[in-house]
Amino acid sequence: MKLLNQLFAAAVLTALAPASGMAGQAQIAVAANFSEPIKAIATVLEKTTRHTVRVTLGATGKLYAQIKNGAPFDVLLAANAEVPQTLEKEGLAAAGSSFIYANGKLVLWSANPSLVDARGEVLKGTGFRKLAYANPKTAPYGDAALQTIDQLGLSSALAPKLVQGESIGQAFNFVFTGNAELGFVALSQVLEHGKLKSGSIWLVPQTLYKPIEQKAVLLQRGASNPAALALVKLLQRPATKDLIRSYGYDI
């Protein structure tokens, strides 16, 4: 087994090592829900290739606007499929370079370990004042949250309690800091090593919202950047997919 691991490591190093022998850096825009996995992936990238990445987190819609305005990103890891496809059509990304790197899952989360029940019935009660969610115009998880509320027939009842964050990261922080008792967030934000870090959750049935297909795309600026190319290759490797699954995503 030790020899097998050594051979695998050697294969990865051979496949990903920069051809020039020089380490490079990629500027990457990453949907806020993927903040924890990208840290782990960046560590693997640096250890295996010496390449590094600089990460900018945000709502997918806002990252798209920054790219349109000339932000110097090499790769985009979006929280939907539409934005990467649009960037390809607009000539701002390498044609045919987009691919699904994760399928996201929505959860209802509270920092209170006894507040959220296994069926989400808490949403129908009076045990909370504020419910956080991300801006549905720029954050796909926010859109999924509104779809869920609508499917449950609770749009009118919950409207006065809704607190909107700019991104899924801010929605999470509203709950984490106690500014909202409940929030719709990404499963990946509340897991650590496959287990719930704290609080209580309801894993929202995926029948209540459209699939959250998260696509990555190589932007034109990154097409000639070895670090960006190495990251794109790493994201598609089986071992990386297993790592992403450990944060609660489907592949």
pLDDT, one tens digit per residue, over 208-229 is 999 999 999 999 999 999 999 9
pLDDT value at position 248? Answer: 93
pLDDT value at position 219? Answer: 98
Query: Would you give the DSSP letter of residue 114?
Result: T
Q: What is the mean pLDDT of residues 188-213?
A: 94
Sequence spans of domains, the chain? 2-103+212-245, 106-203
pLDDT value at position 194? Answer: 82
pLDDT in tens, 168-183: 999 999 999 999 999 9
CA of 152: how far to CAs of 114, 119, 148, 156, 184, in Å? Answer: 22, 12, 6, 11, 14
Contacts of 152 (CB under 8 A, 6+ apart): 120, 123, 208
Integer Cα distance of 162 and 152 in angstroms: 15
Q: Which residue has the higher pLDDT, 17 or 21?
A: 21
Taking a C-beta distance cutoff of 8 angstroms, is the pair 115, 181 a contact?
Answer: yes
Q: What is the mean pLDDT of residues 142-152?
A: 98
Q: With respect to CATH, is domain 2-103+212-245 assigned 3.30.2080.10?
A: no
pLDDT band (50, 70, 90) for residue 21: low
- The reported pTM is 0.86
pLDDT value at position 193? Answer: 78
pLDDT value at position 22? Answer: 73
Domains 2-103+212-245 and 106-203 share a fold: yes
pLDDT value at position 62? Answer: 96
Sign of torsion over alpha carbons 180, 182, 185, 191: positive
Q: Which residue has the higher pLDDT, 141 or 15?
A: 141
CATH number of 106-203: 3.40.190.10
Q: Which of 63-72, 137-146, 185-194, 227-236 has the lowest mean pLDDT?
A: 185-194
State what percent of residues in the chain have pLDDT above 70: 92
Taking a C-beta distance cutoff of 8 angstroms, is the pair 213, 80 a contact?
Answer: yes
The number of C-alpha atoms within 13 Å of 52 and in the hemisphere containing its C-beta is 2
Query: Length of the chain in residues, anyone?
Result: 251
Integer Cα distance of 131 and 133 in angstroms: 7
pLDDT in tens, 24-81: 999 999 999 999 999 999 999 999 999 999 999 999 999 999 999 999 999 999 999 9
pLDDT for 245 beyond 90: yes
pLDDT band (50, 70, 90) for residue 23: confident
Taking a C-beta distance cutoff of 8 angstroms, is the pair 67, 92 a contact?
Answer: yes
Q: What is the mean pLDDT of residues 202-213?
A: 97
pLDDT value at position 228? Answer: 98
Integer Cα distance of 199 and 112 in angstroms: 5
pLDDT value at position 8? Answer: 37
Residue-by-residue DSSP string for 164-227 = EESSHHHHHHHHHTTS-SEEEEEHHHHEETTEE-SSEEEE--GGGS--EEEEEEEBGGGTT-HH
